[in-house]
């Protein structure tokens, strides 16, 4: 199980993940009344972020929960959290609930503000053994509610299906309703028939997968035929190849279905082409991450810096002294503000940095400092 990284976002504040707490009366806890997104991070940048934010906005709209942020603010919060946790490769999780009131009643509360929580998890891509050998899946009856197109936090049926798969020695459960295979408990479903990729159409019983949408783009580039059609269980069992796709799985070949081999029991030729294209796409994205905004900086440069530390005597002086070892501090720009119920002190300051080496050394020193919880 991946471990959460040290810092989380809760209602606009970055705090240690162990200290992130919400009310016991939050409707996410009492009613599973909320929506979420999980997205991969490569090279310190959230992958397909606009697509994930669009889907989150749609989920909130369908649940009639006020979206607490516009896309630019969402991006700023998510990017800040990724940077605070050291960047690199990870997954980011974002959850919005309808909020809390001191009651438990089904109708919407009159004045509760949405609760926003986000955190990051250790992740380095799908296990290489699954990539190399393929995944085993089992079919399970789909007993979910009628609005699976909403990425709701109400996932009890998904949890039970996934647990049934694990207890059967499989990685995923393919959900079946009215004789048709729809999707996995936490993944999109695709099959290959004589070189054509087939995936079920979007609708109320299927979540529109962001990874699946990328695969459609890549298939077009590879000139692979693509069909959106219902997939009966018989069609699933007869498929030349089966794939599952999601944020953390990327795209995996399924090599066993309900204990029986799929095709010759090895990842298929079409999957190998799409997987290679996927990895190349991610590699290009990573290259953009390392040659993007930070690489375009012209030194010397003046940058705003925000640092959060646990409040205590002398924190401001120690932090500014540390910063001054690597940059010129514009003293008149220094501001401070308490946060997290006065447990933390946020210090903002403008600094002049003379070289990329100084910038990297500054952030390395801040990450290593026991005084600093978060810096951006």
What's the per-residue H, E or C state across 215-278? HHHHHHHCCCCEEECCEEHHHHHHCCEEEEEECCCEEEEEEEECCEECCCCCCCHHHHHHHHHH
For 238, other C-beta atoms within 10 Å of its C-beta total 10
In DSSP terms, 125 is beta-bridged to: none
In DSSP terms, 34 is beta-bridged to: 97
For 113, other C-beta atoms within 10 Å of its C-beta total 12
State the pLDDT at residue 297: 56
Kindly report the length of the chain: 376
Compute the 3-state secondary structure of the chain and give helix, strand, coil in percent, each to the nearest 5.
Answer: 30, 30, 35
Report the run of H or E that residue 136 belongs to, with start and end. Answer: strand 135-141
State the pLDDT at residue 318: 93
Q: Which of 55, 65, 57, 61 lies closest to 114, judged by CA?
A: 65
Look up residue 324 and give its two tokens.
């001054």
151 catalytic, yes or no? yes
- Which value, in Å, is the radius of gyration of the alpha carbons in the chain? 23
Look up residue 180 and give its two tokens.
């048709």
pLDDT 10s per residue in the chain (376 long)?
688 999 999 998 888 999 999 999 999 999 999 999 999 999 899 999 999 999 999 999 999 999 999 999 999 899 999 988 988 999 999 999 999 999 999 999 988 999 999 999 999 999 999 999 999 999 999 999 999 999 999 999 999 999 999 999 999 999 999 999 999 999 999 999 999 999 999 999 999 999 999 999 999 999 999 999 999 999 999 999 999 999 999 999 999 999 999 999 999 999 999 999 999 999 998 877 544 444 445 678 887 787 888 888 999 999 999 999 999 998 888 988 886 667 778 888 888 888 877 887 887 788 788 888 776 6
Which position among 151, 162, 205, 316 bears the catalytic label?
151
Q: Which of 228, 280, 292 lies closest to 251, judged by CA?
A: 280
State the pLDDT at residue 292: 40
In DSSP terms, 14 is beta-bridged to: 9
Which own/partner contact pairs does 112-115 have at CB distance under 8 Å and 24+ positions apart?
A: 112/27, 113/68, 114/65, 114/66, 114/67, 114/68, 115/11, 115/22, 115/26, 115/28, 115/34
- Residues 216 and 271: their CA atoms lie apart, in Å, by 13
Domains of the chain, by residue range, sit at 7-122, 128-290, 301-375
Fold of 301-375: Alpha-Beta Plaits (3.30.70)
State the pLDDT at residue 1: 61
Any residues with CB less than 8 A from the CB of 210 and at least 6 apart, and which?
39, 48, 51, 52, 55, 247
Any residues with CB less than 8 A from the CB of 99 and at least 6 apart, and which?
26, 27, 109, 112, 113, 114, 115
Q: Which of 124, 91, 123, 133 lies closest to 252, judged by CA?
A: 133
State the pLDDT at residue 341: 66
Q: Is 309 within 8 Å of 347 (Cβ atoms)?
A: yes
For Cα atoms 204, 168, 260, give the angle at the middle one, nearest 5 degrees.
85
Q: To which CATH superfamily is domain 128-290 assigned?
A: D-amino Acid Aminotransferase, subunit A, domain 2 (3.20.10.10)
Instruction: Please indicate whether the domains covering 7-122 and 128-290 agree at the CATH topology level.
Output: no
Right CATH number for 7-122 from 3.40.50.720, 3.30.360.10, 2.40.50.140, 3.30.470.10? 3.30.470.10
The CA–CA distances, whole Å, from 187 to 249, 291, 359 equal 8, 32, 40
Q: Is 351 within 8 Å of 305 (Cβ atoms)?
A: yes
């Amino acid at each position: 199980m991946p471990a959460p990284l040290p810092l989380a976002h809760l209602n606009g504040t970055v705090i240690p993940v162990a200290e992130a707490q919400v009310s016991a009366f939050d409707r996410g806890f009492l009613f599973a009344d909320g929506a979420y997104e999980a997205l991969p991070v490569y090279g310190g940048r959230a992958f397909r972020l606009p697509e994930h934010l669009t889907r989150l906005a749609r989920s909130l709209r369908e649940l009639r929960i006020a979206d607490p942020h516009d896309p630019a603010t969402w991006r700023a919060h998510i990017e800040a959290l990724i940077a605070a946790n050291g960047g690199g490769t990870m997954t980011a999780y974002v959850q919005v609930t309808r909020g809390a009131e001191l009651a438990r009643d089904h109708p919407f509360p009159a004045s509760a503000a949405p609760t926003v929580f986000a955190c990051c998890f250790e992740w380095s891509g799908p296990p290489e053994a699954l990539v190399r050998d393929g995944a085993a899946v089992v079919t399970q009856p789909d007993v979910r509610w009628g609005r699976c197109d909403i990425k709701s936090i109400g996932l009890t049926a998904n949890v039970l299906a996934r647990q049934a798969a694990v207890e059967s020695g499989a990685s995923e459960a393919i959900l079946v309703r009215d004789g048709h295979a729809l999707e996995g408990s936490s993944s999109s479903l695709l099959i290959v028939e004589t070189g054509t990729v087939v995936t079920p159409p979007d609708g109320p019983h299927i979540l529109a997968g962001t990874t699946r949408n990328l695969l459609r783009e890549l298939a077009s580039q590879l000139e692979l035929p693509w069909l959106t059609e219902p997939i009966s269980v018989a069609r699933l069992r007869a498929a030349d190849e089966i794939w599952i796709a999601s944020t953390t799985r990327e795209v995996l070949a399924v090599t066993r279905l309900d204990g029986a081999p799929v095709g010759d029991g090895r990842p298929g030729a079409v999957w190998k082409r799409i997987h290679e294209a996927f990895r190349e796409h991610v590699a290009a994205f990573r290259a953009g991450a390392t040659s993007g905004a930070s690489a375009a900086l012209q030194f010397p440069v003046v940058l705003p810096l925000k640092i959060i530390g646990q409040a205590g005597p002398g924190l401001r002086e120690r932090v500014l002294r540390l910063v001054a070892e690597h940059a010129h501090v514009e003293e008149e720009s220094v501001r401070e503000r308490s946060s997290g119920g006065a447990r933390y002190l946020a210090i903002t300051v403008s600094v002049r940095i003379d070289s990329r080496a100084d910038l990297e050394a500054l952030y390395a020193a801040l990450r290593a400092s026991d005084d600093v919880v978060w810096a951006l």
